[in-house]
Amino acid sequence: MIEQEHSPGEFGAGVKAYRYYFPILFEFTLEPQEGEAVIKYFTTTGTPLDGVDGFKNETHKLVMNQPFQAEHRQNPPPNYTYKGYQKRIDKEPEGGPTEADGDPTGFKYEGNFSTYYVFYYYDKQGSPPGGDPGNPTSGCTSPSPSGNSIDVPLNDPSVSAVIRADSRGSERFNVLDGIPTTESLYGNVLAKSYLSKNKFVEMSGTCSFDITVNRTYELTWDPGKEVTDEKGNKHTEPDPQSASETVTKSYTIERKYSFWVIDNLEVYKINEAALQNYAFEGNGIRISPSGYSSPSYAATKSSGYTPPSPPSTVEAPSGSKSGGKTKPDVSGENLKTYAEDAVDEVKVKNDSLIFNGSTVMNGSQTERAGQRPGQIPAAAQISNNVLYSPGHVIPTSKTNKADQPSTGTIYYGLMNGNINGGSDKSYPIYGINSVTVHTPVVMYPGVSDDRAHNQKTTPAAGRSAIILDRPFTVMMPNSGQHTNDLGYGNRDYLKYIGSKQVRFPFDVYEGTKAAFYPKNTWIEVDKSREQFAFYLPVWVDEGFYTVEFRSIAHNAPSGATEQTNANLNLSHHIAYGTVPVDVIGRVYDFQVTDIADYNWEGVFRTATGSRTPTGNAYWVGLNGIDGAPRGNTMQYTLPIRPGSHPLYKNAVIKTGYHFKFDLKTKGNMFSPLDQIVITPSFDFIDATNGNRQPIDLYYHTGKRNYVRIGSAADQVQRYVILNDRLRNVPVEELTDTALYQYDHEYTFNQVAGIGRSQFVQWFIQKPSLKKTPVGSFSLLRLPEGVRTLIGPKTGIPSGVDPARVNAAVQRWYGEYSLPAELYAVPAGTSVAEYGRTHGGLTDRSAIFLKKGYIVVNFNIETVRNGDTGKPYLQYIRAPLMNQWAGMEGFARNVMDPYGRRYVLKDGDVAFYHADLSSWDDFRPLVTH
């Protein structure tokens, strides 16, 4: 580091700054432009052969983009056998050949390594693997198997596998029972962490050495000698003798040796596992090991022996021997001990094998016999995370199938460093569980029951009421009960829905009428929603229907079948449901449009004697058909009562005057026998106290006095002229009605030669001007002759019959009056009995109620196809709703301009003066 003072100008006075310089070393490693190939020769025991018997190591230059081919010596000496080679580019090879024959594949050098090593290995016959000791007076037998060996076969992988639903340990489904598409599976394989096979062979032999032992002996003996002393006596005196003699003996000394070699070694690591099942994408997955460490081992072909190098002649320590009187004989001396002592044991080395840090075969040099090898450690089972692969989503292309079989294979790869054989192994995996693919859908549908607008006399049990020209809702929940298998049960199944549809056997609109769907059309709906609004067109025929619903699984094949409510049987891919419904019409919009009493002419006519209407009408209440405000005021609501007249506060209707009315229906009320049935009833309201009571009404005929309305004698018939001058029926209504009759009610023969326009003119000029019987004072039946067709004529979808649409809404015209000469008595009063007990009966008898109002009350029903015994719809008295009061807002409590309060009844239409008659205006008029 170098420090240098620096005084930049931007600092203030007295501030010192320093620059520091740090040395940095950059090293760049470039790909070599050339390399070298190193070729070496060895015995299989690792003894170098460079310079021996014609072998010579070689070095070759490798040139960029040039080919290179290494070749072993083709014609070695006869006692050498080629055993293979080992090549490497990272370091010098170790442990003997890895390839049994041939040469490495040639290649083009591209500079991605600097040194290419190829070591060739040969077996030399007739010499010890450890090398030739070079003693000409000795010989060693070549090592050969001693008969001892350790042969361990390839261990079993003990492999097993499962295929289950994610997540492991918290499986959401039991795949044996079923798992839906778009859910995921995991595969998990357990096996031994490695496989190994080995054969260790003990090799043995004998080395023989010819040893000459020389030993010099110092010999002593004393034969004695006779000596004559001075006296002449002979005696024996010592005569010690000595000599040196060398004894030479030759011996053959044997040294046995043994060592262990690796005859075969194969170690296999886990490469991968494969699992096959129909439920997988592509019918199978492959699992590579994760967090797996293959075994580490090092095998070295280091075995061999090294014989000792004793001297050929051994000079034994000198010895001595006394022979007594004779020279000792040493020729028979045994000097082998000295020969034995001169010859060391053969040094031997096993091959070496270190496995996972443990020494299995010790390659250290020992004398005479190599250490017996141990066992390769037993392989442990891998953890359950090694061959574990989660998150395999079952594709929607997989249709439902039960008990799909599973197969599997585990693959072990032969590791480098094997000795004498081996190749990659694969083992089938048995006993893997099957998988059932079952994608669930449910359909528990519903249709809103429009009870609030159901006017049927007898509502249909078990059917949802849907009302013409009204919205309704269908419910298509995504939840519901499926099987009780794990993951199924009663829950939301939206995830598995591919399509959700509803089919109506009648035309419908979407709820806002933005779309029209012809009958019997499967309508696709938003599967994420559960309620859908529709609108029932007015032209749909009334009656019983069944609405169909279905939820189609996203894996459904073409031609998929269905099962009710839930596809519990996996052969089905559609959940199907039905809801019975009842399509019902309406009766509504009753109004009084004219009163014949001259006091009321100005209310309904623009001028005296004019037929032009003012447009005024008296409605049931302030609301329309479905309860929305109509726009009229309270004064123009029923009944006609004191205060109803805009000018005359106390004006009601005088007896003898009729009032005109009309009402509407929707539905199948356009056949010739359909009719409106109106049953009048009567009450009396006291003008002074407002008390109300039921009454009977009597009138006189030309033949009989005091005829009670509703009795058998009440035979006066009432008539209505449809196209009456003051009824003001629109020409368009008459025309539409005539055309419908022409097209639908007359046969070809009946109208042959009459054009449609001619028929219309005839209808307007003839039938519509005829008097149509409509009943009596006690019962009105409005028939086809007083009905017009007023259905919509615009906005009709393509394919829908406009005439049928026009016929779907009907207007019925009627009128009603009380006899001019009318007598009211409390209901149940016997007029005859009163006359008998009171000296006769006159029009002024006290029994008759005069000071008040007679209230006409209508009960209105519809009759279809002339079935008068079974009225179809009720205006007022339906069990589920009251159109008169509940929808149209009839007021049941009103006050007149004088502060008198009247309690009204549903169906009250008009108040008549009990004491005023049309006779008071025109005496010549008849009583009705």
Q: What does the alpha-carbon distance between residue 885 and residue 778 come to, in Å, rounded to a whole number?
A: 23
With a pLDDT cut of 90, the percent of the chain lying above it is: 77
Q: Give the count of beta carbons closer than 10 Å to the beta carbon of residue 872.
A: 24
> Residue 382: helix, strand or coil by DSSP?
coil
Question: What's the fold here for domain 446-584?
Answer: Immunoglobulin-like (2.60.40)
Confidence at residue 57, expressed as pLDDT on a 0 to 100 scale: 85
Q: What does the alpha-carbon distance between residue 497 and residue 441 come to, in Å, rounded to a whole number?
A: 6
Instruction: Note the Cα 201 to chain centre separation in Å.
Output: 61
Element (H, E) at 734: helix 731-744
> Residue 722: helix, strand or coil by DSSP?
coil
Let me know if domain 34-125 sits in CATH 3.10.20. Answer: yes
Token pair of 69, please?
Answer: 């081919």
Tens of pLDDT along 782-792?
A: 999 999 999 99
Instruction: Give 854's Cβ-side CA count (13 Å radius).
Output: 32
**What would the mean pLDDT of 774-801 be, rounded to a whole number?**
97
Position 751 confidence tier, pLDDT thresholds 50, 70, 90: confident
**Is the predicted pLDDT of residue 304 greater than 70, yes or no?**
yes
Residue 535 pairs with which residues in a beta bridge? 471, 509
**Is the predicted pLDDT of residue 53 greater than 80, yes or no?**
no
Of 293 and 120, more confident:
293
Tens of pLDDT along 325-372?
A: 899 999 899 999 999 999 999 999 999 999 999 999 999 999 999 999
Confidence at residue 873, expressed as pLDDT on a 0 to 100 scale: 99
Confidence at residue 173, expressed as pLDDT on a 0 to 100 scale: 98
Q: Measured between alpha carbons, how far is residue 744 from residues 254, 438, 473, 800, 804 in Å?
A: 133, 54, 34, 16, 10
Element (H, E) at 66: none
Q: Which of 531, 444, 446, 560 is nearest to 493 (CA)?
A: 444
Token pair of 145, please?
Answer: 């198997």
Of 50 and 34, more confident:
34
Tens of pLDDT along 875-893?
A: 999 999 999 999 999 999 9
Three-state secondary structure string covering 256-323: EEEEEEEEEEEEEEEEEEEEECCCCHHHEEEECCCCCCCCCEEEECCCEEECCCCCCEEEEEEEEEEC
Map tokens 């109208």 to a residue.
751
Q: What does the alpha-carbon distance between residue 499 and residue 368 come to, in Å, rounded to a whole number?
A: 85
- Amino acid 597 reads D
Do residues 262 and 198 touch, judged by C-beta distance below 8 A? yes
* Residue 411: burial class (beta carbons within 10 Å; 0-12, 13-18, 19+): middle
**Is the predicted pLDDT of residue 13 greater than 80, yes or no?**
no
Angle between helices 731-744 and 756-765 (to 10 degrees): 120
Position 4 confidence tier, pLDDT thresholds 50, 70, 90: low
Q: Which of 469, 421, 466 is nearest to 446 (CA)?
A: 466
Instruction: Note the Cα 322 to chain centre separation in Å.
Output: 113
Do residues 388 and 231 touch, judged by C-beta distance below 8 A? no
Confidence at residue 82, expressed as pLDDT on a 0 to 100 scale: 86
Q: Which of 465, 380, 483, 574 is nearest to 173 (CA)?
A: 483
The set of residues, in sequence order, having a beta carbon less than 8 Å from that of 461 and lying 6+ positions away, is: none
Do residues 287 and 274 touch, judged by C-beta distance below 8 A? yes
Confidence at residue 8, expressed as pLDDT on a 0 to 100 scale: 52
DSSP letter string, 628-663: -B-S--GGGBSSB-TT-SSS-TT--EEET-EEEEEE
* Residue 607: burial class (beta carbons within 10 Å; 0-12, 13-18, 19+): exposed
Tens of pLDDT along 856-870?
A: 999 999 999 999 999
Same fold, 34-125 and 446-584: no
* E strands, 364-512, in order: 365-367, 387-393, 401-404, 407-414, 425-428, 435-437, 446-447, 464-467, 471-475, 479-481, 490-492, 497-503, 508-510
Going across the sheet that includes 352-355, the strands are 297-300, 352-355, 358-361
Q: Which of 718, 708, 588, 733 is nearest to 659 (CA)?
A: 718
Lowest average pLDDT, out of 157-166, 294-303, 424-433, goes to 294-303
**Is the predicted pLDDT of residue 5 greater than 60, yes or no?**
no
Of 127 and 344, more confident:
344
**Is the predicted pLDDT of residue 22 greater than 80, yes or no?**
no
Token pair of 666, please?
Answer: 């929707």
Do residues 889 and 621 touch, judged by C-beta distance below 8 A? yes
Average pLDDT over all residues of the chain:
92
Q: What does the alpha-carbon distance between residue 870 and residue 861 come to, in Å, rounded to a whole number?
A: 10
Residue 676 pairs with which residues in a beta bridge? 782, 862
Tens of pLDDT along 563-572?
A: 999 999 999 9
Phi, psi for residue 160 in degrees, rounded to 5: -145, 165
Q: Measured between alpha carbons, how far is residue 598 from residues 455, 657, 850, 874 in Å?
A: 37, 9, 22, 33
**What would the mean pLDDT of 321-326 be, rounded to a whole number?**
89
* Start-to-end Cα distance in the chain: 134
Bridge pairing between strands 531-535 and 508-510: antiparallel
Position 79 confidence tier, pLDDT thresholds 50, 70, 90: confident
Q: What does the alpha-carbon distance between residue 519 and residue 543 come to, in Å, rounded to a whole number?
A: 15
Kindly state the DSSP code that residue 757 receives in the 8-state scheme: H
Element (H, E) at 38: strand 34-43
Do residues 464 and 448 touch, judged by C-beta distance below 8 A? yes
Confidence at residue 107, expressed as pLDDT on a 0 to 100 scale: 86
Q: Could you give the maximum distance between any two Cα atoms of the chain, in Å? A: 233
Q: Give the count of beta carbons closer than 10 Å to the beta carbon of residue 399.
A: 17
Do residues 819 and 702 touch, judged by C-beta distance below 8 A? no
Position 849 confidence tier, pLDDT thresholds 50, 70, 90: very high
Kindly state the DSSP code that residue 627 receives in the 8-state scheme: S
Domain-by-domain residue ranges, the chain? 34-125, 145-367, 446-584, 588-920
Sign of the C-alpha dihedral, residues 859, 864, 865, 869?
Answer: negative
CA angle 305, 310, 311 (to 5 degrees): 155
Map tokens 């006017």 to a residue.
455
Element (H, E) at 742: helix 731-744
DSSP letter string, 535-581: E--TTSPPEEEEEEEEEEETTPPTT--EEESB--STT--EEEEEEEE
Do residues 623 and 890 touch, judged by C-beta distance below 8 A? no
Q: Which of 24, 83, 22, 15 is nearest to 49 (CA)?
A: 83
Confidence at residue 26, expressed as pLDDT on a 0 to 100 scale: 58
Q: Which of 359, 414, 467, 390 is nearest to 171 (CA)?
A: 390
Lowest average pLDDT, out of 26-35, 144-153, 543-552, goes to 26-35
Confidence at residue 75, expressed as pLDDT on a 0 to 100 scale: 76
Lowest average pLDDT, out of 38-52, 235-249, 713-727, goes to 38-52
Do residues 277 and 283 touch, judged by C-beta distance below 8 A? yes
Token pair of 391, please?
Answer: 């998150």
Tens of pLDDT along 572-612?
A: 999 999 999 999 999 999 999 999 999 999 999 999 999 99
Confidence at residue 24, expressed as pLDDT on a 0 to 100 scale: 64
Q: Measured between alpha carbons, how far is residue 121 from residues 71, 228, 587 in Å?
A: 12, 87, 111
**Is the predicted pLDDT of residue 819 greater than 60, yes or no?**
yes
Three-state secondary structure string covering 819-855: CCCEEEEECCCCHHHHHHHCCCCCCCCCCCCCCEEEE
Q: Which of 496, 472, 658, 652 is nearest to 570 (CA)?
A: 496
**Is the predicted pLDDT of residue 131 greater than 50, yes or no?**
no
Of 185 and 4, more confident:
185
Position 821 confidence tier, pLDDT thresholds 50, 70, 90: very high
**Is the predicted pLDDT of residue 494 greater than 80, yes or no?**
yes
**What would the mean pLDDT of 456-471 be, rounded to a whole number?**
98
Element (H, E) at 794: none
**Is the predicted pLDDT of residue 802 greater than 60, yes or no?**
yes
